[in-house]
Structure 1
Amino acid sequence: SQNYVRMKHRDCEQVGIASIQVELPGDTTAAQLEDAIRGLNEDPACTGYIVQLPIPRHLDENWALSLIDPAKDADGLHPINLGRLVLNEPATLPCTPRGIVELLRRHGVELNGAEVVVVGRGITVGRPLGLILTRRSENATVTLCHTGTRDLAAHTRRADVVVAAAGVPGMITADLIREGAVLVDVGVSRVEGKTVGDLAPDVWDKAAWVTPNPGGVGPMTRAMLLSNVVDRAEALHGR
């Protein structure tokens, strides 16, 4: 997570965005976290920010996200912004789902009418991605699976696109996909000191397109964060 934060600061510097960081200790109290977030809400020099997840387990993640000023929510995870996504109204979109859709578009992957299986039900990727993909602008048919799905293969083997975001290393193997499928790996796990995704190595010989992990969706997530920050700044300044 700390390395990811460093990369975000570097990205901001490269495009001319002034970035700040409020770092709190691991034993931070709820009151201290609330004070830090409210300070950013009230700071006119701050036009957009995120709460870097995950936060310590003794703190309520959803509660922390709800404290963010929705107008400064650069991650698109405030309940109001997620609610607007559900209602199909304009809102700041969560960075990783937005990055996945942009990645597929840029590589000419047809989403209109496509069968897309999303494996993972988390609030940062799985749930919002399903909502984005079923908008009329994307028009995909989405099946949301997870670690409790009884027969995962029955869903993934018919999919044109599989997005793996369950956080289970090597969960999606070649026998679970059809020939020529498009695979997007969003899972992040540490195995023997290395970052690995949810796709097994054998999928590369069977799929038409595969995003590497690391180095695939991560850079797109950071790019969408920068885009959201610019959008928030322009909105706050009435542009």
Structure 2
Amino acid sequence: MVIIAACNPQPEVTPSKENMLRSKKWRITGGTITVKKPNGVDTNLKYLDYIDTCYSDDYLKFDSMYFGKSYTGSQKCNAADPEFQNFKWRLFNNDKSIDLYDGFNMIFAVTTSIEPYRFETLATSPEIKLDTIVGRLDTIPGFIKQFIVLDTIRELRYKRYPIPNFDLYGAEITEFSQLLFKVKFSFKTTRIDSTGFHAGAPNNFEPILVNDTADYFLTFSSF
């Protein structure tokens, strides 16, 4: 008598997203910050261009019981910096949202500034170019004053700064795998507004500071 036994292969069990987070180290490897230019139009900035170099190798480790550590990599900003800083985390909303708080401090922001008009008499490149000539009636009948608006030498600058102890709540988490995940979030900030009568041209007011939001879309990769 021959007995044949059939063995059913065990189904592969996909680890939960929480366990996937705990099993890896995670580092920010890309992403964008979307802010508004002074004219009100959105512009996308590469996030990694606006962090200090000494933060580029920092990484996260998600431990059990929803505690985590933010580790300082080999490039320390200050020799006295601790090896790590504790924070708390949680996944919720069917693992579509994440909180990183109570010690999380890996996020940089940008500030906007408009440098005043200047003449560079020695430079040959870029060539100084007069963009606009604006005519204004003078008090003397039939006489028009001409004002030159030097748009091409009015410089817009973005500067980076770290946000200490940044609490991130309800960030949208997407493209989750064992290799990477992405988070989308926004926070309130201010920006320079040069629209309307605030263009800084002759007979106009200087740009003003208004409330706005900065939108982030960051990629965390495992290693």
Query: The TM-score by the shorter chain falls in which range?
Result: under 0.3
Larger RCO: Structure 1 or Structure 2 (Cα < 8 Å, ≥ 6 residues apart)? 2
Answer 1 or 2: which has greater strand percent: 2
TM-score (norm 1): 0.25
Larger Rg: 2
Structure with the largest fraction of helix: 1
